[in-house]
Amino acid sequence: MKSKSWFVPLGILSVLLVAAGGITFAITGEMGNLPVSLIWVGLLGLLLFFYIYFPEIREFITKRSTKYAFNTAIMSAVFFLIILLIGVMSIKYKTRIDLTENHRYTLSSQTIKILKSLKEDVEAIAFYRSDERTRQAMFDLLSEYSYHSPKFSFHFVDPDRDPSEAVKYGITSYRTTLLKYGNKQEIVGTESENKLTNSIIKLINKDVKVIYFVKGHGEKNIESEAENGYTQFKEAIEKENHQVRDLMLLSAEKVPDDAAVLVISGPETDYLPGELDKITAFVKKGGRMLFMLDPGGAPGLAKYLGGFGFEISGEYIIDKMSQVYGANFLMPVVGWYYKNHPLTSEFDLATFFPIAGSVHIKEDPSKGSYDLAKTSDKSWAVSGKLTKDDEEFNPDKHKRGPISMAAVTAVEVNIGGGSAKEGPEDIKTWGKILVVGDSDFTSNKFLKTAGNRDFALNALNWLAEENVLISIRKKEAGQTPLMLSAVQGKIVFWLSVVIVPSLLLAVGVGVAARRKRSA
């Protein structure tokens, strides 16, 4: 038995040799001569050790304690195998819950919709150093994109290790991602879903649509940064890969031919007959119009739109529901949307319209005439000048909600195109008119309120026939401060500064006194 003791170090050394061979292979990445030799010598040593100590090993295995330990090891192995299988399955069938306020770790419905609509492959090449702090964030973001579309792929390139790739694509800085779509390319500079999605939109859109805003009658200014200005709205439209221009309709010969949509937003004075004729000619050629009219402003336009079936009475809408959200009663909340129209079929965000009026049209599917958005039954409409008495509903003088805030119709346009053989049939197309009873909901002050931005952008995209862009967009991540009341502040102070420290002090004194007494 004493002679056998010399072979104990052999067993330990054999295990170390096998481990050393495995570590060498892990470091070098190749099963060369050195790791093979170490593993082979280690295995031979273990074989010799087991042969010499076979009686002792057999006796050890037959012990009851060994059997119990072996059973425990098997159960532990099965448990860890189950955990491993769950982990593997969760990679393919994953479900996540994003509890952040703006869902900053979840792709927006617009991004997912665009990814699912890809007709050609989009390749993303991310140029990041291997030790770049933000590399993982970009990897997670690109992984989400590729998860939602098999046509989106990505890979990372370290410019320090592979400078030829950076030179090939003209990349001169780190944290840069190149998107390739056919022969087109776009560059994204940061780990931002909004910027990444906007770049994809630019790649897949063949044409850049032009949105014109009419000016000259007190309309909202697209260059104004004041609270009632439209600079933020303009920027949001441009991010959808559209161009935004203003138009002095009075001096223009006609609405420009490249106009995808013509917007009239909050005019304070009426349009001249010549201007209305230009608008009519634009619509009857298949043009698209968005009217955002405030109650009491430009009554001539209300009469003009009546010729297309719209009922714009100039009534003010009062909604006590808005006070629940911290707004005043003159800012009606819209939560009902017509679900059989592509503009509002998937829209479910509340929208707020400060000082708004009613817009209604008689439903007519043959003309595409529908009320698209309505207030709740807690609202009512007030005709004429507002008074203090109008703050409470009076069935004798007020019209109870729901009240329509937005309506749409289509104007049939015939374009001769039939051949002699086919008969004198015409090719039909449609002009579209969308009217909203407020122009302030897209101003700098209210654009980011609830669903205002998404509703306005979806309206423009539907009019411009960019239906793939109709969705809910990603909200910008921002700070989420914790606001405490005076009482809550006192509770936090007393708990953290007085109560908990004093309890710990009392326990410490008690333990010390008890030990001293027992000693």
Per-residue H/E/C for 407-464 = EEEEEEEEEECCCCCCCCCEEEEEEEEEEECCCHHHCCCCCCCCCHHHHHHHHHHHHC
- pLDDT of 472: 57
> Does CATH place domain 209-469 in 3.40.50.880?
yes
Residues 24-83: pLDDT tens digits? 887 777 777 888 888 888 888 888 877 777 777 777 777 777 777 777 878 888 888 888
- pLDDT of 469: 66
pLDDT grade, residue 468 (50/70/90)?
low
Q: Which residue did the predictor score with more confidence, 65 or 481? A: 65
pLDDT grade, residue 262 (50/70/90)?
very high
| Mean pLDDT, rounded, for 272-289 | 94
Query: Residues with Cβ < 8 Å from 166, sequence gap 6 or more?
Result: 127, 157, 159, 172
Tell whether the model's pLDDT for residue 492 goes beyond 80.
no
pLDDT grade, residue 345 (50/70/90)?
confident
pLDDT grade, residue 426 (50/70/90)?
low
**Residue boundaries of the structural domains of the chain:** 4-92, 109-201, 209-469
pLDDT grade, residue 91 (50/70/90)?
low
Q: Is the pTM of this model over 0.95?
A: no
Q: Which residue did the predictor score with more confidence, 495 or 153? A: 153
- pLDDT of 97: 67
What is the DSSP annotation of 89-145? HHHHS------STT-TTS--HHHHHHHHT--S-EEEEEE--TT-TTHHHHHHHHHHH
> Does CATH place domain 109-201 in 3.40.30.10?
yes
Q: Measuring CA to CA, which residue among 200, 310, 218, 323 is closest to residue 271?
A: 218
Mean residue pLDDT across the chain: 83
List 371's β-bridge partners, or say none: 407
3-state helix, strand, coil split of the chain in percent (to 5) is 40, 20, 40
Q: Measuring CA to CA, which residue among 433, 435, 483 is closest to residue 463?
A: 433
Tell whether the model's pLDDT for residue 124 goes beyond 80.
yes
pLDDT grade, residue 225 (50/70/90)?
very high
pLDDT grade, residue 433 (50/70/90)?
very high
Q: Which residue did the predictor score with more confidence, 89 or 300? A: 300
For 240, the 3-state DSSP assignment is: coil
- pLDDT of 423: 45
Site of tokens 């992984």: 143
* Distance between CA atoms of residues 369 and 433, nearest Å: 9
- Kindly report which listed range (146-160, 427-441, 501-515) carries the lowest average pLDDT score: 501-515
Q: Which residue did the predictor score with more confidence, 215 or 325? A: 215
pLDDT grade, residue 460 (50/70/90)?
very high
Q: 107-143: string of b/e by CB count within 10 Å (b at 16+)?
A: bbebbbbbbeebeeebebbbbbeeebeebeebeebbe
Q: Which residue did the predictor score with more confidence, 146 or 321? A: 146
